[in-house]
Structure 1
């Protein structure tokens, strides 16, 4: 049996695209015809603050794989170049341009997208953020056959991702990336043998979320402490949830705690009131509950609230 001819679509700095590239290039039953990635100068914001960076374009060139970096994948020149590759499959993993109908009609067999959520739930962008923010109790990653609308195609495979309910957005993103890599390995034999099983999504269960905006990262202390703490975890590590202190400073809160048994008696205060007590810095939330500030962004580093680097700011913004 001849190898299947595949084109990979991914962002140039994608932590998902990098292992996808390695797997597809190294698989004996796959001929990786090209990698389509971000135009020069454009990075996916998900990964820009990661400690370790990847460059899918450089990696592909080093492997001898053709790299295409069009301004838009739907431009006529890009469509023509991709048509000439005569791919059996397009494999899409963390690529943030929409593929138009003229592109989706090119593969001889199918275009497959790997999405980090239990579709039809949490369709759209940054599901790792929204799932933590909304308190999702279960997760999966999904491989779908791409349709004309975003994340609406038939399900081809799903892998369960167990959750503890304490994950940060970054931790969940990493877990989903690993699960998608394993799912690609499981799916390749079906791609090779052309034995994909298609299951239509239940549109009655569909939920959709867009790209998080600055307003979503702003903490609202009129909500219960448990909800605010979820919002903090969802935004970790970048860009980080934030609030404005009484002195006018924007504080990026990276981790927080609530419901601790040894919390000092702080009484009832209006939501948003900051109080230093019992060796910790607390903020009042709805229903008289309190949230303890644990770590913040300070000088580009994550520091504890009692760290000397943060102490002066902590003193300046504390009231009560």
Structure 2
């Protein structure tokens, strides 16, 4: 079975590495090529660097050479056009394995694979079809999510399910941490699926279209915090948008990233508010959403929301260092009892 692997971000790297180990151990499988997005500029120098999958694919040259096997061909087309299809066809692949490649495969492209294609998707399909299933599960405050391997179909994420495993959620996951878990699980499930397909012993399960839900792309501006939302929802948003696009607000006209926080009502054990007069919460429910109330010695800076109090533990002014809340307050003496968000308080000097 000749395999073309398609992927770009770090979440796909463990699956690629597991696939490489399979091909090194079992000569019935061949990693013919790796398809990933083109190198892109990063950092202050704007130097073009490979995707995480591109880096991992390049690292396979040595172990494959040690086994007297040709390393997989790395393809980085700008578009999946006729030129890209010609390059893929030259590899004579039997099957496409995709995990977070980031582009849609058209019918002409899928026709290059006699055995079709499979896709690793980090949700319990048919729930959260689309590009952002991990943030969607966190934003929805779900108690569980999972990972599915499905056949690629004309309709996005609608193919028959070949394998699926559930993941319980604690309610403290970020997209970064949950992506790491999903990456490991995807690698674990992929190998038996490929072995089953090679033996023609695997039967897919059709998805129920009526149970399908969808998640769209996330934009940078989506990270703006609406302080009239509940503390629980803002906490979920902060976790869902870590590491990108991050959640942000304004303090005295300056952009402020809220990097870590939690709903004070969910803190365990409940911390004790400071007894210092200048740092204690003013009390009462008349404070406007976004008002900085004081501190909680265990949980951090307390901010009023539309429903409940958010305890902020790590934050960062734009273009400055990320700081734990105590260190942040040492350099922001005017922060206590101020107002976050848009409004007149953020226009004053």
Global fold match (TM > 0.5): yes
How far does residue 184 in structure 1 lie from its aligned partner after superposition? 0.8
- The answer for the alignment partner of 1:275 in structure 2 is 293
Query: Does the residue aligned with 2:192 lie in a helix, a strand or coil?
Result: helix
The 3 A distance-change label for structure 1 pair 132 and 37 is same
After TM superposition, the structure 1 = structure 2 runs for residues 4-43 of structure 1, keeping only pairs within 5 Å, are 4-11=1-8, 14-27=9-22, 28=26, 29-41=28-40
CA 226–147 in structure 1, closer or farther in 2 if over 3 Å, else same: same
**What is the rounded CA distance, in whole Å, between the counterparts of 1:141 and 1:132 in structure 2?**
14
Is the CA contact (8 Å cut-off) linking 1:305 and 1:314 kept in structure 2? no
Can you list the C-alpha shifts for 1:97-124, whole angstroms capped at 9, x where unaligned? Answer: 1111001112111200101111111111
Distance 2:17 2:243 in 1: 27
| Gap change, CA 1:224 and 1:263, over 3 Å in 2 | farther
Which of 298, 305, 313 does residue 332 from structure 2 map onto?
Answer: 313
Task: Measure how far apart 1:217 and its partner are.
Answer: 1.4
Residues 1:284 and 2:318 aligned together: no
Cα distance in 2, alignment partners of residues 91 and 115 from structure 1? 11
Instruction: Find the residue that maps to 2:59 and give its secondary structure.
Output: helix
How far the C-alpha of 1:125 sits from its partner, in A, is 1.3
- Which of 251, 254, 268 is the matching residue for 2:259? 254
Kindly tell me: are residues 277 and 60 of structure 1, through their superposed partners in 2, closer, same or farther at Cα, counting changes over 3 Å? closer
Unpaired segments ≥5 residues, structure 2: 43-51, 65-70, 274-280, 340-349
Q: What displacement does 1:237 show?
A: 3.1
Hey, what's the Cα distance between the residues in 2 that align with 1:314 and 1:255? 20
Shift of 1:65: 1.6
Counterpart CA distance in 2 for 1:185 and 1:86 is 21
Aligned length: 303
Is the CA contact 2:96–2:117 (under 8 Å) kept in the aligned structure 1? yes
Contact 1:24 1:31 in 2 (8 A): no
Change (3 A) 1:314 1:34: farther
- Pair 97,170 (structure 1): closer, same or farther in 2 beyond 3 Å: same
- CA drift of 1:35 comes to 0.8
Q: Does 1:70 align with 2:87?
A: no
Q: Which residue of 2 aligns with 1:87?
A: 93
Compute the displacement of 1:86 (Å).
Answer: 2.3
TM-score, length basis structure 1: 0.87
Against the structure 1 CA distance between its residues 210 and 300, is the aligned structure 2 distance closer, same or farther, given a 3 Å change threshold?
Answer: farther
SS for the counterpart of 1:107 is coil
Residue 223 and residue 120 in structure 1: after superposition, are their counterparts in 2 closer, same or farther (change >3 A)? Answer: same
Q: Against the structure 1 CA distance between its residues 223 and 189, is the aligned structure 2 distance closer, same or farther, given a 3 Å change threshold?
A: same
| C-alpha contact 1:120 1:206 (8 A) present in aligned 2 | yes
Look at both structures and tell me which one has the larger radius of gyration over its CA atoms. Answer: 2
Cα distance, 1:42–1:187 mapped onto 2, change above 3 Å: farther
Moved more, 34-43 or 174-183: 34-43
Structure 2 length normalisation: TM-score? 0.80
- 8 Å Cα contact 1:61-1:67 kept in structure 2: no
Is the CA contact 1:17–1:93 (under 8 Å) kept in the aligned structure 2? Answer: yes
Deviation at 1:207, TM superposition (A): 1.1
Q: Which whole-Å CA distance do the structure 2 matches of 1:182 and 1:80 have between them? A: 32
State the Cα deviation string for residues 229-284 of structure 1 (Å, max 9, x = none).
Answer: 11111122333211112x01111111112114345452221111112245542111
Distance 1:60 1:10 in 2: 15
Give 1:68 shift: 1.1
Q: Is the 8 A contact 2:303 2:309 kept in 1?
A: yes
Cα RMSD for the two superposed structures: 2.3
Displacement of 1:301: 4.6
Per-residue Cα deviation, 1:181-214 (whole angstroms, up to 9, x for no partner): 1111221211221223111111111111111112
The 2-side partners of 1:278 and 1:5 are apart by 58
Q: For 1:134-173, what aligned pairs fall within 5 Å after superposition?
A: 134-173=140-179
